[in-house]
Amino acid sequence: MTTPPAGPAPADPAKPTPPWIFLFLDFPFGAAVGYLSLGVPFWMERRGFSIEAIAAVAAGANLAHAFKLLWIPVLDLGAYRKIWYLAMAATTAALLAVISALPDPLANLPLFAALLTALQAAATTGHAANNALMATTTRFADKGKVGGFAMASNVGSTGLLGAVAILVSDAISPRAAGLTLAALVLVGAAFALRIVEPRLVDPAVRAAHGLARATARHLAAMLRDLWSTVRSREGFTGLVICLAPVGCQAMSNLFTGISEQYGASARLVGMANGVGGGIASAVGALLGGVLADRMSRRVAYAASGGLTALCAVAMAAAPMTEWTYAWGTFTYLFAGGIAFATWAGMVLEMVGLSAATATKYALFNASANLAISYVTAADGLGGAWLHRTLGIAEARGVLLTDAALTLGGIAVLLAMLLVTRRPAPAARPS
């Protein structure tokens, strides 16, 4: 049984949100990410686009997750997270519908890429609002259950809804796939209507007597807190680790884009990356959570990154068959789930508790998402270069590039680990 920390017990909301509701609230996020990371590469490969083009589109749209730190702090002003969540869910559904209404999205790649970026921006903003609702509308004793439901929604909906996009597009059309996801987004988001958010006035707003002045004060306090964290040894090395390609699992954005080279059918692609991949990621995340509490979280993160590299190398060395595609995708996503959980444990350890805890978490999260974007792009470029220069199949080249970048990131992490373990300089006597 969870016990509250020493001191005054945390105050529970008057009308706490049932934990099970959060099993559905990441549907908008999962639909947007699944559409981008599973559906889009699958359709682009079938239309003859190169792996470089596929990686560039995925990496560019994913930048929205990295730059969200520019606007996410606004969500902390006042008790409007539920409104933010519902508005962003509606925007996510609308963007999916707009993309589906285009006669041929892939015929105008710049417009398609811009809409995909907007889709990710809306989804990641709604996801941040959902995280805030978890923190402010649930009972202290339910935090563990809330986290479990939220993780299942996050990891599971990405794979499952991405699989729905592929399977519906194969059976009917990509337009039907986008509209189906838009409907599921609205169904999942509707559960938020049951949430009763405490109507608390932000102290900054009360003291500033105005939203504009409160925003300026809030951002100033945030920057001071961020600077204090970043300039500390733990914070600076942690930021470098997040920016390094350790556990990015960037291949999850490209697996559907190399499926044709393995002769994988649409059904297999949907199952391997969707239902099967979602389950594998969830199980891996649960295992990673246990590891993160049993050993150094930075070491655990390095080990999980090494496991993803090993999976990529094994898949690259194996025959290019449907069976290889199935087990390779499954094991990589399982290892990626471990990396996801150990990364989260490492970051939670660093941010601690302060007025800007959520914003600091967003900083590390944005840094990790930036790493995912540049590694996705680099995987595509490296795979194409190895194919042109050495005649290696593009799929194998992408996997080998991903493994090499991951190993380089692990080297950076280990170097940062040595830095943090080095004794701090002794103060000079006055």
Position 148 scores a pLDDT of 54
Asked if pLDDT for residue 282 goes beyond 90, the answer is no
Contact 167, 266 (CB under 8 A): yes
Instruction: Kindly indicate the confidence band of residue 350, based on its pLDDT and cuts at 50, 70 and 90.
Output: confident
Q: Which range is least confidently modeled, 49-63, 272-286, 307-321, 366-380? A: 272-286
260 or 226, higher pLDDT = 260
Asked if pLDDT for residue 375 goes beyond 70, the answer is yes
* Number of Cβ within a 10 Å radius of residue 191: 17
Mean pLDDT value across residues 170-180: 92
Position 5 scores a pLDDT of 44
Contact 210, 75 (CB under 8 A): no
CA distance 221 to 210: 16
Asked if pLDDT for residue 429 goes beyond 50, the answer is no
Residue 182 CA to its chain's centroid (Å): 20
Q: Which range is least confidently modeled, 28-37, 145-154, 340-349, 379-388? A: 145-154
339 or 224, higher pLDDT = 339
350 or 320, higher pLDDT = 320
Position 378 scores a pLDDT of 92
For 287-340, the pLDDT digits (tens) are 877 787 778 888 888 999 999 999 999 999 999 999 999 999 999 999 988 887
CA distance 386 to 322: 22
Instruction: Kindly indicate the confidence band of residue 406, based on its pLDDT and cuts at 50, 70 and 90.
Output: very high
Q: In terms of Cα–Cα distance, which of 404, 58, 112 is closest to 255?
A: 58
Position 189 scores a pLDDT of 95
Single-letter amino acid code for the residue at 70: L
Q: Which two tokens stand for residue 177?
A: 């796939």
* The overall pTM is greater than 0.75: no
Check the CA dihedral 213-218-223-228 and report its sign.
Answer: positive
Asked if pLDDT for residue 356 goes beyond 70, the answer is no
Asked if pLDDT for residue 158 goes beyond 80, the answer is yes
CA distance 173 to 88: 26
Please give the mean pLDDT across all residues of the chain: 83
Proportion of the chain in helix, strand, coil states, percent, rounded to 5: 80, 0, 20
CA distance 126 to 120: 10
Asked if pLDDT for residue 138 goes beyond 80, the answer is no
Position 277 scores a pLDDT of 82
Name the 3-class secondary structure at 102. Answer: coil
Measuring CA to CA, how many Å separate 4 from each of 13, 133, 136, 143, 401? Answer: 15, 20, 16, 11, 46
Instruction: Kindly indicate the confidence band of residue 19, based on its pLDDT and cuts at 50, 70 and 90.
Output: confident
Position 364 scores a pLDDT of 81
CA distance 211 to 227: 24
**Which residue reads 């471990």 in tokens?**
338
Single-letter amino acid code for the residue at 16: P
Position 214 scores a pLDDT of 67
Name the 3-class secondary structure at 169. Answer: helix
Q: In terms of Cα–Cα distance, which of 307, 31, 330 is closest to 153?
A: 31
Mean pLDDT value across residues 129-147: 70
> Percent of the chain, pLDDT > 90?
36
Contact 140, 123 (CB under 8 A): no
